């Protein structure tokens, strides 16, 4: 049982001030779909909750020529309804769509998914594949860090006390660039990834891959960027040989565990299959143009 002190600030500075001056163990709450469940198991007797959903800039997403600026607390159901974003980053939107159930989507957010830092989080590989940057706001100012460096371990991120994830920024992709995210679950929905793979590819006019990013999830303590898999794709037209190399590279990079959701061998194999399939989908999308 936890006694809560609850604040819902309306500005970023106010939120940071609350967090910086906290005398109780503090938690930032977005949708609360992970946090509320975790609080049932917390041993603290008192806790400060800073609800960031009332801060306008944290719950909006804007797409411009520079790219996407995503408010981390924007709920998935609003995010996934944005056709303009889906057109540009279909894989990221698909990943957001996979979180929880329809009901959970009304609360859950991409920033929450990222900060919660589950190894199986669906949006983290998709963010990494898209080169996403975290803009972190603290009492001392702002800093920026790539998503693949933001998550530091199982359930751990690089936020210092008093810091807050202010936005997730994805630079505008080059022409003929698209992403895709696939995860494996034994059922069709309402499950947690046994393995996940996100791929972003850039094609030239002839359909040759000239740039790629490959990220995998649920097969290591954190989502991993796998440069070797990207290198296997670059220069190819995603023929079977290149796909097999990318597939082998992610299986090599993975360090999965055996648990109730799947065996290590199974995860290592399946993450390769997902990478190959996601690369094909991303390439098809990239080839279709804007």
Which residues contact other proteins by CB under 8 A? 1, 184, 186-192, 194, 259-263, 265-266, 269-270, 273
Q: Return the closest-CA partner of residue 108 out of 198, 162, 98.
A: 98
- Asked if 9 contacts 52 with a C-beta cutoff of 8 angstroms, the reply is yes
In the bound complex, what is the minimum distance in angstroms from residue 37's beta carbon to other proteins? 11
DSSP conformation class of 57: G
- Asked if 220 contacts 125 with a C-beta cutoff of 8 angstroms, the reply is no
CA angle, residues 129, 132, 134, in degrees to nearest 5: 145
In the bound complex, what is the minimum distance in angstroms from residue 190's beta carbon to other proteins? 6
Q: Which residue has the tokens 């920026």?
A: 144
**Would you say 121 or 159 has its CB closer to other proteins?**
121
What size, in residues, is the chain? 290
In the bound complex, what is the minimum distance in angstroms from residue 106's beta carbon to other proteins? 19
**Would you say 1 or 65 has its CB closer to other proteins?**
1
In the bound complex, what is the minimum distance in angstroms from residue 94's beta carbon to other proteins? 16
CB under 8 Å to 117, separation ≥6 — which residues?
124, 151, 152, 153, 154, 155, 156, 157, 222
**Would you say 13 or 259 has its CB closer to other proteins?**
259
In the bound complex, what is the minimum distance in angstroms from residue 66's beta carbon to other proteins? 38
Distance between CA atoms of 71 and 111, rounded to whole angstroms?
8
**Would you say 166 or 243 has its CB closer to other proteins?**
243
E strand or H helix that includes residue 274: helix 264-288
Virtual torsion, Cα 14, 17, 18, 19, nearest 10 deg: 120
**Would you say 182 or 215 has its CB closer to other proteins?**
182
In the bound complex, what is the minimum distance in angstroms from residue 53's beta carbon to other proteins? 25
| Pairing between β-strand 177-184 and β-strand 195-203 as defined by DSSP bridges | antiparallel
Q: Which two tokens stand for residue 243?
A: 């796909």
């Amino acid at each position: 049982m936890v006694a809560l002190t609850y604040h819902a600030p309306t500005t970023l500075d106010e939120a940071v001030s609350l967090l910086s001056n906290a005398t109780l163990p503090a938690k930032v709450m977005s949708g609360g779909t992970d946090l509320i469940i975790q609080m049932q198991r917390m041993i603290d007797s008192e806790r400060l909750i800073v609800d960031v959903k009332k801060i306008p800039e944290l719950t909006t997403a804007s797409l411009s020529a520079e790219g996407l600026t995503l408010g981390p607390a924007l709920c998935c159901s609003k995010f996934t309804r944005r056709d303009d974003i889906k057109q540009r980053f279909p894989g990221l939107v698909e990943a957001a769509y996979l979180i929880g159930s329809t009901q959970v989507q009304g609360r859950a957010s991409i920033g929450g998914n990222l900060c919660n830092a589950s190894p199986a989080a669906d949006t983290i590989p998709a963010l990494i594949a898209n080169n996403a940057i975290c803009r972190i706001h603290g009492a001392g100012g702002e800093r920026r860090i790539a998503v693949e460096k933001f998550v530091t371990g199982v359930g751990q991120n690089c936020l210092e006390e008093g810091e807050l994830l202010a936005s997730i920024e994805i630079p505008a992709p080059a022409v003929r660039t698209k992403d895709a995210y696939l995860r494996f679950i034994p059922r069709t929905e309402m499950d947690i990834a046994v393995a996940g793979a996100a791929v972003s590819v850039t094609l030239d006019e002839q359909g040759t891959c000239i740039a790629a990013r490959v990220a995998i999830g649920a097969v290591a303590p954190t989502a991993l960027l796998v440069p070797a898999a990207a290198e296997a794709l670059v220069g190819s037209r995603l023929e079977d040989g290149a796909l097999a190399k990318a597939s082998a590279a992610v299986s090599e990079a993975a360090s999965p565990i055996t648990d109730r959701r799947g065996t290590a061998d199974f995860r290592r194999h399946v993450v390769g299959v997902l990478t190959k399939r996601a690369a094909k989908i991303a390439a098809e999308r990239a080839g279709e143009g804007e």
